[in-house]
Structure 1
Amino acid sequence: MRHINSHLPSMDGQAVIVTGGTKGIGRHIASAFLEAGALVAVCARSAPDALPEGGGREALFVQCDVRSASSCRDLVDTVGAAFGRVDVLVNNAGGSPPADAATVSPRFSEAIIALNLTGPLHLSQAVHSWMDKQDTGGSIINIASVAGQRPAPSTAAYGAAKAGLLSLTGSLAQEWGPGVRVNAIVAGLMETEQTELSYGSQQAQDELAATLPLRRMGRGQDIAQAALYLASPMAAFVSGATLEVHGGGEPPLFLNIMQRHATPS
């Protein structure tokens, strides 16, 4: 089936897995790939009330706990059997609630690292066994975060895991080329279904957005379009790359202090 929106790259017949694709940014990614003509499978620990849709079709749901290596293998093999191939993996599942680094339990930290780092590794290993035997190879896209590039107080384990995910991206790209391309998207401050939990009140969100060069927070479709690019033939020579989708980035604190104390001209 041809994609409906002509501005999207064609992903006709491509088999795509989007982890955490039932809500938030992952749902936007899944819908974008469906619109572009792909066959899309999404996973989560429990089935959603409604599946992502696009191009007149809906995604396939497969239950999976990405923290479990065996569950990851089962997911990939189920999708491979259903679609006959696996062309794209989007490692989107992740996140963390705030936690005090001095007192948080080891079990919590281990779960966060498993969700955000070892899970993507297990899934990448599982799809590699499919992609490596395909003449067309495949594409792996890791959804990382600015928390992996700068300090992440109150989410230390999450930030460390996302930093590790960026390192993993480069290592796998080196090891698995030329057949499998591996890239990362660094998401900046994002609007999600739970924006208030991350950034506080609407007033706080507006003030944060105003500090960014593009004067708004990111949206799910911003990440989805970046993922489509990296998965498409337009990015055929892009591997081991980090694509920063953050509206220009957060300004350094010293600039704000300097501006507040500047002598009027």
Structure 2
Amino acid sequence: MDNSPHPPLSGRTVVVTGGTRGVGAGIARAFVEAGADVVTCARRLPERPVEGTEFVPVDLRDPDAVRAFFDRLPRVDVLVNNAGGAPYRRLDQAGAEWHARVVELNLVTPLTASLAAYEHLRRTRGSVVMIGSVSGARPSPGTAAYGAAKAGLENLARSMAVEWAPHVRVNTLVVGMVRTELAHLHYGDEEGIAAVSRVVPLGRLAQPSDVGAAAVFLASGAAAYISGASLLVHGGGERPAFLDAATANKET
């Protein structure tokens, strides 16, 4: 916990959508440590709510429910649009309707929440932090609709930053691979995670706390002149494949 006399977000109310596990839980913890009053929301009651947060069940795909949720809050200073994700499925293994639901969750839902929170944010001169993905800027086989939605989310944030200035700042965290409690579903066992970590220049996957720290920065006064920006939180990206190919060629 932050033991300083005045934590950077003391007295601020922060809403983290999907802030009950994984990256979302890491973000919620970071804001609690920064002194904020944190409200998390998701469809299902979490098994272990993040300590120091208030949880409210909300179906983020239901615009009326989302509006009612924000209307009940006395104030909102920061909205973190974290809810999202998609299971692995190649394009030809599902119909367009299935892929459209992925786009809805990862693009339309953050727009719905942002619009519902706008009046709060305008009054408090607050900010929105979109949780984007490196999948939005590169091919995303197996999660193509997710990648397309994240590309759209980043563009939405830039437009929103212009339309809502100067009252509301809007930025995006472009997140790379993160080691969460579900990392094994994506990367395998410890050996698999270690192998994947080696392609990241910093030599490891992100921790949820890494994403949380970046979100707190963008929401804080330290980022008061940052809006419409995309902050890469990916450990340097990925080692270019041609380097390994060139090295292999020299060894043969």
Q: Same fold judged by TM-score > 0.5? A: yes
Percent identity between matched residues is: 45
CA deviations 1:74-117 (Å, max 9, x no partner) are: 22122x2xxx2110000001111100101312332122111110
Q: Count residues with an aligned counterpart.
A: 252
Alignment counterpart, residue 88 of structure 2, candidates 87, 98, 105: 98
Residues 63 and 75 in structure 1, CA contact (< 8 A), matched pair in contact too? no
What is the SS of the residue equivalent to 1:159?
helix
Distance 1:164 1:94 in 2: 13
Tell me the alpha carbon deviations over residues 135-156 of structure 1, each in whole angstroms, 9 at most, x when there is no partner: x411000001110010000000
1:86 lines up with 2:80 in the alignment? no
**Gap regions ≥5 residues in structure 1:** none
User: Does structure 1 residue 19 correspond to structure 2 residue 17?
Assistant: yes
Of the candidates 30, 33, 36, which is equivalent to residue 32 of structure 1?
30
After superposition, the Cα gap between the structure-2 partners of 1:223 and 1:8, relative to the gap in structure 1 and judged at 3 Å, is: farther
Gap regions ≥5 residues in structure 2: none
Once the 2 structures are TM-superposed, how far is the Cα of residue 201 of structure 1 from its aligned partner? 3.0
- When normalised by structure 2's length, the TM-score is 0.95
Q: In 2, distance between residues paired with 1:67 and 1:255?
A: 43
Runs of 4+ deviating beyond 6 Å: none
Equivalent residue, structure 2, for 1:77: 71
Per the alignment, residue 145 of structure 1 pairs with 133
Identify the residue that residue 253 of structure 1 maps to in structure 2: 241
* Residue in 1 that maps onto 2:112: 122
Q: Is the partner of 1:223 in helix, strand or coil? A: helix
Aligned to 1:217: 205
**What is the rounded CA distance, in whole Å, between the counterparts of 1:207 and 1:9 in structure 2?**
38
Q: Distance in 1 between matches of 2:43 and 2:89?
A: 22
Amino acid at match of 1:62: V
Q: Distance in 2 between matches of 1:255 and 1:5?
A: 45
- Choose which of 90, 97, 102 in structure 2 pairs with 1:112: 102
Q: How far apart, CA to CA, are the structure 1 residues paired with 2:178 and 2:148?
A: 19
Q: Is the 8 A contact 2:85 2:102 kept in 1?
A: yes
Mapped to 2, the partners of 1:21 and 1:104 lie a distance apart of: 28
TM-score (norm 1): 0.91
**Residues 42-71 of structure 1, C-alpha deviations (whole Å, 9 max, x = no match):** 011011133212xxxx21111112222222
- Going from structure 1 to structure 2, the CA distance change for 1:5 and 1:249 (only over 3 Å counts) comes to farther
Structure 1 residues 196 and 50: CA distance shift in structure 2, 3 A: closer
Q: Which residue pairs with 1:4 in the alignment?
A: 2
- Counterpart Cα distance in 2 of 1:180 and 1:89: 11
Is 2:152 the partner of 1:174?
no
